[in-house]
Structure 1
Amino acid sequence: MQAADIMTRKVLTLSPDHSVKHAACLMLENHVSGLPVPDDNGNLVGILSEGDLLRRAELGPAAWRGTESRRVKDPDIFIKGHSWRVGDVMTPGVVTVAEDTSIDRIAAVMTAHDIKRVPVVRAGAIVGIVSRSDILQAIAAAVPEVTAAGDQSLRCAVLARLCSDVGLSKDAIDVTVEDGTVSLFGEVESEAKREAARVAAEAVSGVGCVTNKLRVGISSSLSERP
Structure 2
Amino acid sequence: MNVSDVMSKSVTTAPPTMKLKEVWKLIFSKNINALPVIDANKKLVGIVTKDDLLSKLYPDYDEFIADFASASDFEAMENKLQEILTSTARDVMNKRVVFTRVDTPALRALSRMIARHVNQLPVLGEGDRVIGMVTKGDIFRALFQQKFATIIPGKKQPKRKS
* TM band (smaller chain): 0.7 to 0.9
State which of 139, 142, 158 in structure 2 corresponds to 1:138.
Answer: 142
Q: TM-score, normalised by structure 1?
A: 0.53
Higher relative contact order (CA 8 A, sep 6+): 2
Tell me the alpha carbon deviations over residues 94-143 of structure 1, each in whole angstroms, 9 at most, x when there is no partner.
11111110011011000000001011102211111101221121122123
Equivalent residue number for residue 211 of structure 1:
none
- When the two chains are superposed, the root-mean-square deviation of aligned CA atoms in Å is 2.3
Structure 2 CA distance for aligned equivalents of residues 20 and 124 of structure 1 = 25
State whether structure 2 residue 124 is matched by structure 1 residue 129.
no
Q: Which has the higher helix share?
A: 2
| AA of the residue aligned to 2:95 | P
State whether structure 2 residue 14 is matched by structure 1 residue 14.
yes
Structure 2 CA distance for aligned equivalents of residues 65 and 94 of structure 1 = 21
Equivalent residue number for residue 90 of structure 1:
93
8 Å contact from structure 2 (residues 107, 139) kept in 1: no
**Contiguous gaps of at least 5 residues in structure 1:** 72-77, 145-226
Q: Which has the higher strand share?
A: 1
Equivalent residue number for residue 200 of structure 1:
none
Deviation at 1:6, TM superposition (A): 0.6
Structure 1 CA distance for aligned equivalents of residues 133 and 123 of structure 2 = 5
Tell me the alpha carbon deviations over residues 65-95 of structure 1, each in whole angstroms, 9 at most, x when there is no partner.
7624xx9xxxxxx9xx846101110111211
What count of residue pairs does the alignment treat as equivalent? 130
Larger Rg: 1
Change (3 A) 1:66 1:18: farther
Tell me the alpha carbon deviations over residues 139-171 of structure 1, each in whole angstroms, 9 at most, x when there is no partner.
221236xxxxxxxxxxxxxxxxxxxxxxxxxxx
Q: TM-score, normalised by structure 2?
A: 0.72
**Contiguous gaps of at least 5 residues in structure 2:** 67-79, 149-162
Structure 2 CA distance for aligned equivalents of residues 29 and 100 of structure 1 = 30
Structure 1 CA distance for aligned equivalents of residues 62 and 114 of structure 2 = 26
